[in-house]
Structure 1
């Protein structure tokens, strides 16, 4: 989860500021079962102190043992664990789950360049400016570029591309879900979203409605969702969904949400209800056709959902689809 990634980068910054050499490990790819997704980080010192994780523990143990023995002196290395592990650098571990894990290991010396790079990564994880870090796999040279924040966290250049020999690693703010109004579907969405690693905020002007929320860890905002959104509650890694069937809450939230960089905006309702809402938003809200096109209505994937939990599943599945850069026609 990206919360852990932020902890990793902050520890890396602290060690770099203290003049420590550090090793930043990134999961490049996984095949089969794996507890961490591509893009996950671990940072370590030579003495074995580390933060983050790459697997369930076996990979970390092997990496730290080899690091203590003096390995990984090159600026950058790729290491493969699991089946056919002899193909890259010959680590001693076969994963119990039977999968394959490929890891990028970068040796970062303390100094102004490392400090500036790590500080930029911290800003990307905490702020509103997603970045892509490009790593030269031969020299370890690093560059940062602005990014949309959407799509796979690890991007390989196509064969024959002039950028061959590099890998692009997407870094952005912790994904956020803003739920406009309390409802049974909103509560179910909050639970799913937390499991998916989202920061969840549920906005409702009725304090008594929020009292019924049973999902721990959700930030409760006693305010109109539209006011929260207009006050800066969204960034480019935010999904905004309105699930109350109350146009006083849902419509106003949509009007404000389309003025933000939110990557997903959606509102619940049938096709007939959605058509009527689009007309209201066009006529009373002043939304343009381009702004209306940003709103998913009806919201979610067409799974034939009936219950609040099924509707929430369809909503969160659609959010994940967009966040991963997948078109509906690819499903």
Structure 2
């Protein structure tokens, strides 16, 4: 029976001399996943992707693709293909020749190459650009040529290294839609590296958050966003309020003054609340938890007003209000509150 696992990493790590770029880790990528490997620069995400593709040899561990051990195989012998950040198109070739180059190297019959190239160019909506030189295309079109050149090889797993990083915002959003559409159309397994949290949330059905060569959390976008496993994940994915507190005897005592019941081990913790969950309270209004602060910053962002409050504890708290609500001024006092179910308590290792 065919396994549901497309890629399996067991104890895979990479060191460059005394420096561990990726600490030994285990990871299973399911067939049909659109997995984002997300993290800041230097966290090891590109090294991890390149190990899956065969461009970097791991220092430890094994890599399986479709149940086959490919650890010692070069990229040309793996059922994977990579789309690089720089596209890597041949300027002396037209679009059709660029897309079909890999098939030509495999010495496939000309009619088979033409059929597969036409099919994939239709998939990426470049049918009318076949005779154009690659240098005549826009950035978004060049990205689609690079994508087509990888897809035409019919890889079991498509690897994408920051594929949209060079595009402006509008093109990046358009290409996100294209990638979602293509993934739905072919039902393949996509693994992409990005430092852009919004891009990961928009594209992936699972996200692996990396930090300092380790995967800190792996899960669905909703789980990563609403139930971060660590202070790093909470702060890296979107915007988050992190309030210092201590747990003792089953109760949380926060530096900002709030208290509530919370089972778990005694010790330092952090309370994580997303700004959209924190709302201004009118006089006499109640909330599960509430604090008062001084408005330090107020910004109109179209969909909402953003308030940054200075709390008596010395901490900052970000809240949101309706865009048409009366706007407070810097220096005014503001009481805000939130529903307890919308916060998360995590061990504070930072």
Which structure is higher in helix share? 1
Identify which of structures 1 and 2 has the higher relative contact order when contacts are C-alpha pairs closer than 8 Å and 6+ apart.
Answer: 2
- Pairwise same-fold verdict (TM > 0.5): no
- TM-score normalised per structure 1: 0.29
- TM-score normalised per structure 2: 0.28
